[in-house]
């Protein structure tokens, strides 16, 4: 199995687990004299089977990420950490630029005028640069995901 296939399967299992949890919770109580739509204990048992498969798959994905190189000397684990940080940096710059945009929040000349303490244009350029770096990294990671075999 390729790493990309394992990642897709992990998403499926996570969704399945969440659905089972919701269905079991909804079936945990029912009106006296009625029957529950589903057996909550059976759903719980099925969720345990899904969780066991999910745990095994996550372990394999993590083991694969530790030995798979995105670039020479840079493992998938390293790339994942870098991607997470790039997302945070881009979001921070965008949010800061949005906060610094001069808005007219006053109705009369006597009210206090708010001015920007940051260079909005420069922050937007930085956010765009970080976003481009993020896209390039993410594209490379996707390529590697489809070529890397899952560690058994």
The helix (H) or strand (E) run that includes residue 71 is strand 69-71
Say what the pLDDT of residue 107 is.
72
Say what the pLDDT of residue 105 is.
65
For 3-61, how does the pLDDT look when each residue is reduced to its tens digit (9 = 90+)? 999 999 999 999 999 999 999 999 999 889 998 899 999 999 999 999 999 999 999 99
Q: Per-domain residue ranges for the chain?
A: 1-67, 70-152
- Distance, CA of 114 to CA of 100 (rounded, Å): 10
Q: CB–CB of 75/66 below 8 Å?
A: yes
- Distance, CA of 126 to CA of 93 (rounded, Å): 7
């Amino acid at each position: 199995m390729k790493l990309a296939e394992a990642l897709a399967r992990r998403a499926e299992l996570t969704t399945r687990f969440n659905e089972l949890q919701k269905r079991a919770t909804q079936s945990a109580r029912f009106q006296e004299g009625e029957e529950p739509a589903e057996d909550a204990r059976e759903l719980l048992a099925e969720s345990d089977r899904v969780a066991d498969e999910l745990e095994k798959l996550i372990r394999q994905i993590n083991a694969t990420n530790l030995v798979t190189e995105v670039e020479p000397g840079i493992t998938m684990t390293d790339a994942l950490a870098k991607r997470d940080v790039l997302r945070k940096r881009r979001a921070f710059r965008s949010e800061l630029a949005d906060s610094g945009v001069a808005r007219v929040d006053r109705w009369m000349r006597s009210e206090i005028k708010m001015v920007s303490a940051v260079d909005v244009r420069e922050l937007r350029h930085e956010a765009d640069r970080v976003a481009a770096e993020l896209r390039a990294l993410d594209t490379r990671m996707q390529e590697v995901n489809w070529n890397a075999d899952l560690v058994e």
